[in-house]
Amino acid sequence: MNADQFHAFARTVVIRAKEGVRGWRMAYPAARLIRAGDRGSRIAVDAVWEAWLCDGHPRWWAALRRWRRPARRGSALNTGIHDADLVHHLSLAALDDPEIGWSPTGIVHAAEMTGHPICRIARRRILDLGENLWIDDICLAAVGRDGAIAFLGDHRLVPVEPPAHAAYLLLTGQQQRYWEVDPDQRLLVRAYRERPDLRPALREAMPGFGDVNPVRTMGAALTGVRMDRDEVAFLSRRLAEDRDEDGLWRLAGNLPPADAVMALRRADPDWRPPGSADADLHALLRTADEQRLRDRIESLTGPRTLHVGGMVVHGAFSTDDRMLAVVTLAIGARLWVFDLERGTPPAEFPLDGYGPALVSFEGHRPMVSQWWPDGDPTRSTLWRIDAGRRTGRTMPGWPHQLLPVTVDGTTQVTLSRFDPSSQTNTLMLARRNGPPAFRPPEITVPRGAPAWAGDQAIGRLLATDPLRRRVAFANTRIMVAELARGNRLRGLAVSEIGTYAPQALCLGGGDQVFTSDHRRTTRWLINGGRLEQGGSTDLVSGRLVWVPYRDAVLVDGRGRGFRYLDAETLRPLERPGGLDGMRGDALLWGAANGSHAAGRTGRVDVVLASAVALADLARRPMSEATAADHETLAAARRSPVLREQAGILLDVLEANHLRRTGGPPPVPDDR
Winning range, highest mean pLDDT, from 72-81, 124-133, 644-653 = 644-653
Q: Tens of pLDDT along 273-300?
A: 888 878 999 999 999 999 999 999 999 9
Q: How far is CA 558 from CA 302, 551, 563, 575, 588, in A?
A: 21, 22, 11, 21, 11
CB 55 within 8 A of CB 20: yes
Nearest to 96 by CA among 74, 72, 75, 127: 127
Q: String of b and e for 488-527 (b: at least 16 CB within 10 Å)?
A: ebbbbbbbeebeebbbbbbbbeebbbbbbbeebbbbbbbe
**Distance (Å, whole) CA 248 – CA 262:** 11
CA angle 308-314-315, nearest 5°? Answer: 75
Which pLDDT band, with edges at 50, 70 and 90, does 420 fall under? low
**Distance (Å, whole) CA 290 – CA 455:** 63
Write out the H or E segment, with its range, that includes residue 597. Answer: strand 596-600
Output DSSP code: residue 294.
H
Using DSSP's 3-state secondary structure scheme, residue 303 falls into coil
Question: 546 versus 387: which is more confidently predicted?
Answer: 546
Q: Among the listed ranges 94-98, 193-197, 335-339, which one has the minimum average pLDDT value?
A: 94-98
Nearest to 96 by CA among 75, 74, 120, 122: 122
Neighbours of 35 (CB within 10 A): 12
**Distance (Å, whole) CA 611 – CA 297:** 9
Long-range Cβ contact pairs of 555-561 (< 8 A, separation 24 or more): 555/516, 555/521, 556/586, 556/588, 556/598, 557/583, 558/585, 559/583, 559/584, 559/585
Tell me the average pLDDT across 21-43.
90
Q: How far is CA 251 from CA 160, 197, 606, 623, in A?
A: 34, 23, 36, 10
410: Cβ contacts below 8 Å, ≥ 6 apart = 362, 363, 431, 432, 433
**Distance (Å, whole) CA 75 – CA 508:** 43
Q: What is the pLDDT of residue 434?
A: 55
Which pLDDT band, with edges at 50, 70 and 90, does 458 fall under? low
Q: What is the pLDDT of residue 436?
A: 62
CATH superfamily assigned to domain 460-601: YVTN repeat-like/Quinoprotein amine dehydrogenase (2.130.10.10)
Question: 261 versus 487: which is more confidently predicted?
Answer: 261
pLDDT at 158 over 50: yes
**Distance (Å, whole) CA 189 – CA 118:** 37
Q: What is the pLDDT of residue 407?
A: 86
Q: pLDDT over 90 for what percent of the chain?
A: 59
Output DSSP code: residue 276.
H
Q: What is the pLDDT of residue 671?
A: 43
pLDDT at 432 over 80: no
Q: Are strands 504-507 and 379-386 parallel, antiparallel or unpaired?
A: unpaired
Q: Tens of pLDDT along 547-603?
A: 999 999 999 888 778 999 999 999 999 887 889 888 878 889 999 889 999 999 999
CB 480 within 8 A of CB 532: no
CB 643 within 8 A of CB 650: yes
Topology match between the domains 310-440 and 460-601: yes
**Distance (Å, whole) CA 462 – CA 472:** 6
Q: What is the pLDDT of residue 452?
A: 67
Tell me the average pLDDT across 171-183.
93
pLDDT at 433 over 70: no
Using DSSP's 3-state secondary structure scheme, residue 392 falls into strand
User: Of the CATH numbers 2.130.10.120, 3.40.50.10210, 1.10.10.10, 3.10.28.10, which one belongs to the domain with range 310-440?
Assistant: 2.130.10.120
Q: Where are the domains of the chain?
A: 3-208, 310-440, 460-601
Q: What is the pLDDT of residue 178?
A: 94
Q: What is the pLDDT of residue 643?
A: 92
Long-range Cβ contact pairs of 262-268 (< 8 A, separation 24 or more): 262/229, 262/232, 262/233, 262/236, 262/290, 263/232, 263/235, 263/236, 264/236, 265/236, 265/290, 266/236, 266/237, 266/239, 266/240, 267/240, 268/243
pLDDT at 217 over 80: yes
Q: String of b and e for 337-351 (b: at least 16 CB within 10 Å)?
A: bbbbbebeebeebeb
For the sheet with 552-555, list strands across it.
544-547, 552-555, 563-566
Q: What is the pLDDT of residue 455?
A: 45
CB 289 within 8 A of CB 306: no
